[in-house]
Structure 1
């Protein structure tokens, strides 16, 4: 099995696995810009849960390699054309874009990120399985089975029910080649055990874990309309023990989208915002909600839930005003089963 250190240090190894971009969504859903092909530096930082400067520094150190995998910086007429075609709003003179392959390249280089480490683990396991698994006939299988699962089970079944019993029979009847046959049977049994271990590890990697939100959570949320998003947040509140949860929405909501009570009976209000991942919740957004939550509704607990990050000033005002800022990363974890501390 290849160690992660080799992947971090070997450009040739990174190049050999650079096409396996599907592992990104196996670990955590990667949201794309409206063109369906690129992400910004801020979106890359949000995916790996690191600061923007960490991503910029990595690009500076490995720019040639990352550019070879689809990183580019747009400016002038090219940027204007891209904004017009993609519908994004940006007032900067230049815009750095990462392809999915470039994001995977970042994952293979970024040391101080748990998400990047999980991507590397998954990537190396898939690469190892691709090198060691033999091709077999998969013509009959369940649609829900993955290719790796079907290969594992098929090979293990053949080895356990056909090959090993055949060697047992040969060993019983052979005299001259008995030792060689016993050695071969042991080799086959070792392969069988190794495949079982590989299968178990892949299932563990693909399944939900406490330290990794479910893959596809944010992709599903991004596909919701405003009403569906509010209902989704209401369902999370009810799941975590809140009572009297009502989706207000629309006109006459007095500045909040959801009202209710926490599990211990405190008045609760929620503002839900479906913003594009590259946008941010700003301080005026929080100030407006703060007045509605604390003055109009006299809420003890106020949640501002958004599908994007918050600016630093917005976070500061939230903390000072007693607003819980549920940013994109926290929303993903909440949706995947982790209760918010303020509701406990």
Structure 2
């Protein structure tokens, strides 16, 4: 039995399970709109026992995946028509987000902080496990094949005997040839094609199973690493040296090579020319990072960014520059980072990165 957290990490695994919408009602009865097909954002939030903001935030992060499973936003004439058909309040607003059962199931596989969502994921994995343990072939197929072969052999024998004439003209050698021909004909027409198809299907299933096993092994490793890394609160408790080493580990996890955490002093305050992590991205670009371990209620300012730009870009010629902090960035700091092609890994982005998401700047650009 796999951990339900695997579904949070693997889009391919989520895609393979979007057809099991029946598990939603097994966990908690769905309340649908009058069309019996859709739910609103508020209804989805109520089903999972979370705030509306949590669902909207999930849509922002995974909109393309959700749209592939039926999520859409109605506006204009389409919205007016839907309100009339569904007897909705005409004053519901200028747009309306709609979730299908598949979309709701998709949300359940993505929503972390919901007891209902975790129960849905557990039911999904139970259902998948049950399918894997079910017998792959119905034995009645072989009984039907046996009857077909008997009929085919008998038909062939009768046809050949009719061609050979009266019984007195038949001898043992000719009867042996007849039996061999009948069996060979039946096997050639039915058994061989069936075996070929079984071999092809078995090869395909083995290939798919190997792919799933590799994916599951990778995800189990990610889950184990996440448990080892701990939460964002655990990062807050690290000293500067440990924090820099953890950021170096995240870079290596995402495919970077030759990554080292420099011997920065504990505390990490000041030291405008300090660089904490050096290495190369997976496609060979020069990686430079500075780690700012600050209190969550502090901020990273535009001055901090400017100081890092001078060190990373001019001295180290960074092609991928990360300014990582456990605190948020001010608006001016984010603007300056954007202008100088610096990735501002603020507290929120750091949490996502620590939880398994990948930084776009570290992905191959070739």
The bucket for the TM-score relative to the shorter chain is 0.3 to 0.5
TM-score by length of 1: 0.41
TM-score by length of 2: 0.39
> As a proportion of its length, which structure holds more helix?
2
Tell me which of the two structures has the higher relative contact order, counting C-alpha pairs closer than 8 angstroms and 6 or more residues apart: 1
